Amino acid sequence: MSDREILHCDLDNFFASVETFYRPELGKVPMAVCGSEEERHGIVLAKNQLAKQYGIKTAQAIWQAKQLCPSLVTVEPHYDRYVDFSRRARAIYDSYTDMVEPFGIDECWLDVTGSGLIFGSGEDIARQINRRIKEEIGITVSVGVSFNKCFSKLGSDLNKPDGVTVITRENFKDTVWGLPVQSLLWVGKSTLATLERMGIYTIGDICRTRLSALEAVLGKNGKSLYANAMGMDSSPVLRESEMPPAKSIGRSVTGSADLKSDLEVFRVLLSLSEEVSEKLRSCSLLAGGIQIHIRDSMLVTVERSIKLERPTRLAKELANEGFRLFKSNWQWHRQVRSIGIRATRLECDSSDFQLQFDYDYAKALREERIEQSVDSLRKRYGSQAVVRAALL
């Protein structure tokens, strides 16, 4: 059986490229798309190639970026534009195969194994996509081509921007094994630190280490890393309809000013819970648990969670449980800079669960219908079409 042909398409410097499409002069200066300093989201979200040359990194604070490059031009993000460009790129991918797996807003895997008779080899298709993204959308894409997902993802990073890289069974040892270990998919900061303590610095070092030693230190992750480094990744490209359900659904926000009272916190939790509630309904899920995330004015973070007595997705019930968790864990030593709420222990709304005699299920059903109607109105007329009195 012949190898699969897997592509990984990564839209180059995505947010920055889209902003430059609308303002071409930004392509001539070091530029970064940044969150609002006034609303205290002052970090780098994306940067162009000129900014990268100064060592500016994503998630860096704006003041740190400007220390590296005093002439850095910062622009605010326009998420509606990014969604539009992402959808247009996805339409191009869909014209080659229906096996497309998104990996964030700007990246996708494509399995084009069955597309060869019509469009040519994986490399042919990669070059066609590379050309069409430029001509039809106006930005660039880097594409990795390989026989598995791990190496195609790695390939898309090797010749940025606007590059096509092919990694085959014949050349992968020469191409991949000399690269830093963090180039490999799923090697994060914690895993990197562990590997370096073991004297493992390159992908080839992983392959030269006994599998038993990797498993002893990293557990199952050690086996996965070894398989990926050896080119044995067999994970399939999953269509969106085939992707596993979310394990949790959450929302968080950093306020324009610190929260100073229980009432302010409850109102924010209620607003966030409405978004979580709507998402749970759209996925036909119920929350069996709640987690809250609190960051104070000194950037100290606290997370707490609880299992619910009864699965729910009603916004007010989510907010009440989240607020109860907040009250039992927060002493107001400092003000609250940001807060989030997350629905956990998700289960299908058709699942059986234990009924409780002291709960008014008829009232809950009425509230569910009201929230469904509110969802419909907001989708049609905007998020502010219906607002709870408590949030006015």
Residues recognised as catalytic = 107
Nearest Cα to 73, choosing from 42, 43, 24, 31?
Answer: 31
CB 168, CB 36: distance < 8 Å: no
Cβ neighbours around 309 below 10 Å, total:
11
What the block records as the tokens of 84 is: 């539009």
Nearest Cα to 9, choosing from 123, 98, 78, 93?
Answer: 93
Q: How far apart are CA 302 and CA 320, in angstroms?
A: 18
Q: How far apart are CA 47 and CA 76, in angstroms?
A: 12
Q: How far apart are CA 157 and CA 176, in angstroms?
A: 12
For the beta sheet containing 141-146, the strands, ordered from the edge strand earlier in sequence to the opposite edge, are 100-102, 107-111, 6-11, 141-146, 164-166
Nearest Cα to 119, choosing from 108, 134, 131, 107?
Answer: 131
